[in-house]
Chain A
Amino acid sequence: MSTNVGIVIVSHSPDVAKGAADMVRQMVGDDVPLAWCGGAPGGGLGTSVEAIMAAIDRAWSEAGVAILVDLGGAETNSEMAIEMLPDERRDRVVICNAPVVEGAVMAGTEASAGSPLEHVRRTAEELRAA
Chain B
Amino acid sequence: MSATAQSSVVIEHEVGLHARPSVKLTQLAKSFQSRIEIATAAEGPWIDAKSIVKVMGSKTPKGALLHVRAEGEDAETAVQAIVALVERDFETA
Binding site for B on A (CB under 8 A): 27-29, 105-106, 109-110, 112-115, 123, 126-127, 130
Answer whether A105 and B31 are a contact pair too, CB < 8 Å, given A123-B51, A126-B53: no
Q: Would you call B27 and A113 a contact (CB within 8 A)?
A: yes
Interface pairs (28), CB distance under 8 Å? A27-B19, A27-B20, A27-B23, A28-B23, A29-B27, A105-B19, A105-B23, A105-B52, A106-B56, A109-B23, A109-B26, A109-B27, A109-B52, A110-B52, A112-B27, A113-B26, A113-B27, A113-B30, A113-B31, A113-B50, A114-B30, A115-B30, A123-B53, A126-B51, A126-B53, A127-B53, A130-B53, A130-B54
Q: A-side binding surface: helix, strand, loop or mixed?
A: helix
Number of contacting residues on B, CB 8 A? Answer: 14
**Chain A CB within 8 A of B63 CB:** no
Complex: how many Å from CA A112 to CA B24?
11
Shortest beta-carbon distance from A5 to chain B in Å: 13
> Which chain A positions have C-beta within 8 A of B26?
109, 113
A106 engages B52 (CB within 8 Å): yes
Q: A112–B22 Cα gap in the complex (Å)?
A: 14
Contacts of B31 in A (CB 8 A): 113
Contacts of B51 in A (CB 8 A): 123, 126
* A108 and B54 alpha carbons, distance in the complex (Å): 15
